[in-house]
Amino acid sequence: MNQDNERPDLDIADPQVSLAYRSMTEVSTPAKLDAAVLDEARVAASRNRPAFSIGGWLRPAAFVATVGLSLAVLLEFRETEVFDSVPQIATEPDDRYRPAAGGADRAEAREDDAAQAFGQLPAKESAISDPKTPLAESAPAPGQQDKSADSSMLPDQPLDQPSPAAKRVPDNTAYDSAIRQTGRSLPQTAAVSALHADAARHCGDEQTRSADTWWQCIEALREADRAEAARQEFELFIAAFPDFRPAQ
Amino acid sequence: MTAALLQLLPANEPLPRAATLPYSGVMDATPEDSALMLRYKDGDTAAFEVLYRRHNGPLYRYLLRLSLNRATAEDLFQEVWSKIIRSRHSYRATAKFSTFLYRVAHNCFIDHVRRNKRHASNIPLDPDNAASPSDEPDVTAEKALARRRLIAALTALPDEQRDVFLLHEEAGLSLDIIAQVTGVSRETAKSRLRYAVKKLKAAIIESAPETEAAN
């Protein structure tokens, strides 16, 4: 009969009664009644069929609006810089870890002063008259003297190579050139001198008691063409007297 | 009893409306009814005609045997379809079309009863009395007697019980749907149907001895 009778009411409905009812005269609707109803249906359908039905477009319009709004929201999220509000990660070095103001400058100044002072030492004429004096040979001209204490930037010329212009190098550059020939800065030279602490000494104990005598010993070693010995003593000398300023 | 029942059945004729037997399969595909109604909603009058042809007979018989008056049944029939036609724009396939149709028909009958409380006085004994021309005279008399008994018993039923019985037998609705259509609980609908069947069965049984006596 229809889908409602999925569970027949067997306890109520009686097949005999149903059969009896079914056997009653088959009654059908009058033809005029059918015509009247069908005509009414056709008239109603034709009367209410506008050329343009707004109602018929509501659902498609709603669907299009939904899709359009979704795309707009999606594009808005993609264009927006989401991480604009995130603070930029600091790329500049933290000032907390910077060395104390002037600390490195002071060390550098000391090196410059020592180099300059070394260069201003009055050189003995007899000591540097030998053109083969290695220190004098490698000493640059006054005008070309590099004030920087970083001797690593200077050419590392072997001490035993004579310089043709050794006679013209003034004595005030001996200290400076000695620094340069070590190939290191003053702090580095002082560190290296610690390595030579146990090495054979070329200057006696009495000579190394004071800076001046020790310096004179070093000068003597250079004059004696004992460059290596002079350099070793000089490194030890710098470690012992880092603030030494040769007398002018 | 069996002989009385056989007397009621026309000889050499197939069971009428076999597809409408209570325990048979689905006569109308409900989704098709809803689809037809939706198509008519969009202006397809041919779909409405198919829908109408499918339900006009059962609906007319329901109204006829419920109101027990042919004129009233025709008025109610046209009123029901008019309402169906007018409500096409707001139709939603939330329930079966048959449920919707018979709910409208039931309400129209209730409204008619309230408007005309004297309808009982216009009840003919046999509103659908029409003999089949192929029947033999003796069979016709027997059948007519049985039919009158049944109709009398059906007429004698209270409106509520007759309504439930016709919705169950003619429209093929289940008790749950009948309860929705009539606006009562399932148990109430079940009780009304039980009493209706009981009375009709008693009428059928009573007619059997008279038929045998006539033979």
Structure confidence by residue, pLDDT tens digits, B43-96: 999 999 999 999 999 999 999 999 999 999 999 999 999 999 999 988 888 888
Q: Model ipTM?
A: 0.75
pLDDT for B212:
52
Instruction: Pull the structure tokens for residue B20.
Output: 């409408």
In one-letter notation, the amino acid at residue A193 is S
B40, B60, B98 member nearest A2 (Cβ): B98
Q: Which of A68-77, A107-116, B159-168 has the lowest mean pLDDT?
A: A107-116
- Residues in chain A closer than 8 A to B204 (CB atoms): 16-17, 20
Among chain B residues, the shortest Cα distance to A40 is held by B82
On whether the CB atoms of residues B17 and A26 are closer than 8 A, the answer is: yes
Per-residue pLDDT for A205 more than 50? yes
The distance between the two most distant Cα atoms of chain A, rounded to a whole number of Å, is 158
Contact of A61 with chain B, judged by CB distance below 8 Å, is answered with: no
- Residues in chain B closer than 8 A to A24 (CB atoms): 128, 147, 150-151
pLDDT for A244:
86
Q: What is the pLDDT of residues A155-173, one digit of tens each?
A: 444 455 544 544 444 455 5
Q: What's B134-215's CATH class?
A: mainly alpha
How many Å lie between the alpha carbon of A56 and the closest alpha carbon of chain B? Answer: 9
Residues ≥6 apart with Cβ < 8 Å to A127: A133, A171, A219, A220, A222, A223
Alpha-carbon distance B45 to A43, whole Å? 9
Among chain A residues, the shortest Cα distance to B201 is held by A17
C-alpha distance across the termini of chain A, in Å: 132
| pLDDT over 90, % of chain B | 55
| pLDDT over 90, % of chain A | 21
Just give the CATH number of B25-124: 1.10.1740.10
Residues ≥6 apart with Cβ < 8 Å to A175: A114, A115, A117, A118, A119, A120, A121, A246
- Residues in chain A closer than 8 A to B97 (CB atoms): none
Q: What is the pLDDT of residues A74-121, one digit of tens each?
A: 998 887 755 555 555 655 665 565 555 555 556 555 555 655 555 554
Alpha-carbon distance A197 to B112, whole Å? 131
Q: Where are the domains of chain B?
A: 25-124, 134-215
Decide if B128 and A19 are in contact by the 8 Å CB cutoff: no
pLDDT for A77:
86
Number of residues in chain A: 248
Alpha-carbon distance A186 to A116, whole Å? 12
- Residues in chain A closer than 8 A to B197 (CB atoms): 12-14, 17
- Residues in chain A closer than 8 A to B22 (CB atoms): 1, 5, 8, 13, 15, 18
DSSP A94: P
For range B138-160, the mean pLDDT = 82
Give the DSSP letter string of A84-135.
Answer: GGSPPPP-SPPGGGSPPTTHHHHHHHHHHHHHHHHHTS---TTTS-STT-HH
In one-letter notation, the amino acid at residue A194 is A
Residue with tokens 């069965």: B201
A25, A42, A44 member nearest B128 (Cβ): A25
Query: Regarding predicted confidence, which is higher, B15 or B176?
Result: B176
Decide if A9 and B190 are in contact by the 8 Å CB cutoff: yes
Q: What separation in angstroms does the CA of A175 have from each of A201, A216, A245, B157, B173?
A: 20, 12, 9, 140, 123
Decide if A2 and B190 are in contact by the 8 Å CB cutoff: no
Using alpha carbons, select from B4, B14, B87, B88 the residue that is nearest to residue B44: B88
A29, A38, A43, best to mutate vs chain B, most B CBs in 10 Å: A29
Helix ranges restricted to H, B87-136: 97-115
Contact of A195 with chain B, judged by CB distance below 8 Å, is answered with: no
B9, B45, B82 member nearest A45 (Cβ): B45
Is the full-model pTM beyond 0.80?
A: no
Using alpha carbons, select from A173, A168, A166 the residue that is nearest to residue A117: A173
pLDDT for A98:
56
Instruction: Pull the structure tokens for residue B82.
Output: 């008019």
On whether the CB atoms of residues A187 and A111 are closer than 8 A, the answer is: yes
Q: Is A11 helix (H, G, I), strand (E, B) or coil?
A: coil
On whether the CB atoms of residues B69 and B123 are closer than 8 A, the answer is: yes
B5, B10, B172 member nearest A5 (Cβ): B172
Residue with tokens 């049984």: B205
B157 phi and psi angles, rounded to 5 deg: -65, 150
